[in-house]
Amino acid sequence: MKFCKKCGSLMIPKKEGSKTHMACTQCSYKEKDNVEIELKEKVSPKEKINIIEEEKENIMPLVSQECPKCDHKKAFFWSVQTRAADEPETKFFKCEKCKHIWRDYS
């Protein structure tokens, strides 16, 4: 980057015929030297995202909750803030036996 010697503003390349000069964006100052411009861009490789397809039931707590589908008495439990921050979070349950998922809004 280059800045104007008169006003301190950013200077940009301006083409006049076959020559390129640096010109101020605010005042009329121009450098008289012919300028060669080189654009460099560094692109870093994207990180790979690992997709985990295995279920992590062993990290969810197991609670006493009756499954509405198979009437089993134990279910895994987790909660998510699905609505506005001033409203209570939604509780999700997953049956230990049949893997049925349901939610509780209370």
**Domains in the chain with CATH codes:** 1-38 (2.20.25), 57-104 (2.20.25.10)
What's the pLDDT at 71? 92
Residue 87 falls in the annotated catalytic set? yes
Confidence of residue 58 (pLDDT cuts 50, 70, 90): low
Long-range contacts of range 55-58, CB-CB < 8 Å, 24 or more positions apart? 57/94
Residue 33 falls in the annotated catalytic set? no
Q: Look over the chain and give the mean of its residue pLDDT values, rounded to a whole number.
A: 83
Is 0.85 surpassed by the pTM of this model? Answer: no
Distance CA 2, CA 36 (A): 13
Catalytic hit among 66, 71, 87, 104: 87
Catalytic hit among 86, 89, 96, 104: 86
